[in-house]
Structure 1
């Protein structure tokens, strides 16, 4: 890949990983419109590492508190809200892991078309807009409960369908359960940590097994840009969310989906 391709693709991954607008819908555009070749496994690993570091560092206090509390819940049988949240995230990650393991080949073979991505971009965008306008949005993460966390975990599994948007569908489910916009976004971001880690680990294993040469300069550049853009995205998204709501992202998804349909037709 050229330097400009590396920069653009890393920016796309860093921004769309956490915005409710679907990374897969955006990552097909450079290849389809510009004829760019696939970025390769090594680059995929790099941008996953960059986005994972971004969300872990941004939420470092929450992650640290949950990790310590989770350990105490096992060793000392002491439970508090942080340990509960840690367990909710662990169990809520299981559906996506199982669905990914069992359905990976089917998804790769049947659901990665531009038509599917255009449809899911529009449908789940409309759902996000409807829920944002009609839900109560008066609950905090602490009031989510195990059952609510599992509902969001199941929604995350649906995001394996390209174009759905992992962050978009988990925030949608959080809003449906009555979480405030900020709480829904924060839980979605925390839930992304094991999800991104699993995806990155799988890609790393594939990379090791392939044993091809690696362009370390492109890897370092891609990881750095993905980290910076993802960190900035999380920070400003949380600041703007209560002010602008989800509607700008809904409109963007509808426009993007319509453009994809126009392009493939």
Structure 2
């Protein structure tokens, strides 16, 4: 991997991780168009440690409060009715689907699912699902209305993001809108829900990123991986603040149009043989 590739992919990861446009899909597309090789699923997983560090910093007070209340609530029944205690369980239970399916389908996720035909198709298909959720969802429920059912449904939706092009934030936001949650409420839970799965995936992918098994996959040096992850952290932190402000006052249709445009472009490049699918 060249330094310019590591830097560019770090920026792309930071920009796209929290937007409903699929960071893994964009890393795959960027690698194919500009660098003629695939950075690989492990590179994506490890750079996500940078963006999740941004989540930990941005929501540090919320995470500490939820974690502390959850631990206390295990022994003290008087706090179990609080939202923070329940939110701890919502995040734990909601993380199970992606953890289980990620383990069971690890090989397919690292190979078959990264085919650009799959990426382009999922970008477009899930764009229309997101548009329907934005149109249909009443957005009447806020964080205090959150229930275990919401956590489970959004957790199942998050598992779909194992397929590049779906988008973790996009799938969870879509599910939240179908549950009539406000965009901001769905986004906040989405950020918290990502922490266990993304951190575990990134940590377990560190050995693989430096010795990728897939043919045609570029391998970064330790220094390149560190720099890309730090860049993803800085850009991702800014993206969190921007997205929370944006969704509080705007619809998600701009992301729908963007997903369709990018998916259509990739399909055109594939049909003309400009870029290979694998």
Q: CA deviation at 1:34?
A: 2.3
2:246 matched to which residue of 1? 240
Q: 1:118, 1:163 within 8 Å by CA — same for their partners in 2?
A: yes
Q: Report the TM-score when normalising by structure 2.
A: 0.88
Determine the structure 2 residue equivalent to 1:166.
168
Structure 1: 5+ residue stretches without partners: none
Alignment match, 1:178: 180
1:114 aligns with 2:116: yes
How many Å separate the matches in 2 of 1:102 and 1:179?
A: 31
What is the aligned counterpart of 1:263 among 262, 269, 277?
269
SS in 2 for 1:137: coil
1:40 offset after TM fit, Å?
6.4
**Counterparts of 1:40 and 1:106 in 2: how far apart (Å)?**
13
SS at match of 1:64: helix
Quote the residue 1:49 is aligned against: 49
Q: How does 1:1-265 map to 2 (within 5 A)?
A: 1-39=1-39, 43-44=43-44, 46-77=46-77, 78-79=79-80, 80-206=82-208, 215-265=221-271
Q: CA RMSD in A?
A: 2.1
Normalising by structure 1, we get a TM-score of 0.92
| Matched residues, number | 263
Distance across 2 between alignment mates of 1:102 and 1:21: 25
Is the contact made by 1:46 and 1:220 (CA closer than 8 Å) also made in structure 2?
no
Structure 2: gaps spanning 5 or more residues: 213-218, 272-278
Maintained 8 Å contact 1:125/1:254: yes
Q: Secondary structure at the match of 2:114?
A: coil
Change (3 A) 1:68 1:26: same
Determine if contact 1:152/1:170 at 8 Å carries over to the other structure: yes
Shift of the 2–208 alpha-carbon distance from structure 1 to 2, 3 Å rule, reads: closer
